[in-house]
Amino acid sequence: MHFQWYPGHMTKAKRQMQEDMKLIDLVIELVDARIPLSSRNPDIDDLGKHKARLILMNKADLASKEQTAAWSSYFKEKGYFVVNLDARTRAGMKNINEVVAKACQEKIERDWRRGIKNRPVRAMVVGIPNVGKSTFINTYAGKACAKTGNKPGVTKGKQWIRLNKNLELLDTPGILWPKFEDQRVGLYLALIGSIKDEILNIDELSLELIQILQEKYPGILHERFEIQEEQKPAEILGEIAKNRNCVKKGNELDYSKAAALLVEEFRSGKLGKITLEFPEKQS
Ligand code: G4P
């Protein structure tokens, strides 16, 4: 899904989320494991304060295992529960129920003390567009789930998916908008494919990607395209064009075709498991 944000959308989404927050105990926030900070909007910390918090590092299949582990510790140290995930497969869902139970333990105990027994935990999935919210809900809820329908006394029109006797999920995910204040954030979102390609300069994007790869993942470009990495990014792009036979009429190298190819290979994981953003060392 491609997206563009207008202030009207943002305000409406935020207001909706504020309303939905009143109904839930647990915020299940999806981030993209390749850019765990740039793919989240820190406003959720304010919107979701006093709620149990679970971060799902989704698309972990495309991210560096080592960096995903580092990010997982980073978020855990900040008090979030964390699960690494490929939302397309059921395998990753095994852990979630257990972690959800842990994340909500406090609430369950509080309910018990007040004599409220067996009230299911209510959760809501949130995240920026394209992070995998719908995929997650579909895989997690699976076919077995039953929609509970509107409940009298609860906000009209809300549909809950009953996952088991302990957990209900709001069936529409909350949409957060990314924070574009920092240029790097825009670059990273563009690289993972969360910004309309038509408005991007893919040539520029590919040069930025080459630079990141040279710096953080030495050897990857050499291995994939049989090229010398100690060159300027534009020269490397030319080598990629040669290696992949990207030529225009008249045998001229087609840089744009090579750029698109490189970016596609990154996005689809063909270049390897690559995380673009690294956690700051905790001191
Ligand atoms: P959204 O509701 O948050 O907007 O995201 P959605 O579930 O629609 O997922 C966006 C794309 O990301 C989908 O690809 C989906 O298959 C893919 N995706 C979701 N979770 C994962 C994951 O854990 N790993 C990988 N590798 N991909 C995941 P799509 O519909 O095919 O779109 P696109 O790939 O053509 O962009």
Range in 25-39, 67-81, 106-120, 199-213 the model is least confident about: 106-120
Nearest CA to ligand 1 atom 32: 1
Which residue, 32, 71, 40, 39, is CA-closest to 278?
A: 71
In this model, does residue 75 exceed pLDDT 80? yes
Distance CA 10, CA 52 (A): 24
pLDDT at position 157: 65
Range in 154-158, 256-260, 266-270 the model is least confident about: 154-158
Distance CA 267, CA 277 (A): 15
CA of 132 to the centre of ligand 1 (A): 5
pLDDT at position 14: 85
Reading phi first (left if > 0) and then psi (alpha if -120 to 50, else beta), residue 68 is in alpha
Q: Give, for ligand 1, the residue of 130, 136, 195 to mutate: max count of ligand atoms closer than 8 Å to Cβ.
A: 130
More confident residue, 69 or 149: 69
pLDDT, average across residues 182-210: 90
pLDDT at position 166: 81
CA of 252 to the centre of ligand 1 (A): 36
pLDDT at position 3: 47
Q: Give, for ligand 1, the residue of 90, 135, 264 to mutate: max count of ligand atoms closer than 8 Å to Cβ.
A: 135
Q: What residues flank ligand 1, with Cβ below 6 Å?
A: 1, 58-59, 61-62, 85-88, 127, 129-135, 193
Q: Compute the mean pLDDT over every residue in the chain, rounded to the nearest whole number.
A: 88
pLDDT, average across residues 67-89: 96
In this model, does residue 139 exceed pLDDT 60? yes
In this model, does residue 21 exceed pLDDT 90? yes
Please state, as a whole number, how many other Cβ atoms lie within 10 Å of the Cβ of residue 199: 9
DSSP-based three-state secondary structure for 160:
strand
CA of 88 to the centre of ligand 1 (A): 8
β-pairing, 174-175 vs 146-147, is unpaired
Distance CA 58, CA 132 (A): 7
Distance CA 270, CA 192 (A): 13
Backbone angles phi, psi at 53, to 5 degrees: -125, 125
More confident residue, 248 or 147: 248
Q: Which residues have C-beta within 8 Å of that of residue 6, sequence separation ≥ 6?
A: none
Q: Which residues have C-beta within 8 Å of that of residue 45, sequence separation ≥ 6?
A: none
CA of 36 to the centre of ligand 1 (A): 16
- Atom of ligand 1 minimally distant from the CA of 58: 23
pLDDT, average across residues 112-117: 87
How many H helices and E strands in the chain? 10, 8
Nearest CA to ligand 1 atom 17: 132
pLDDT, average across residues 154-163: 74
pLDDT at position 153: 47
pLDDT, average across residues 21-32: 96
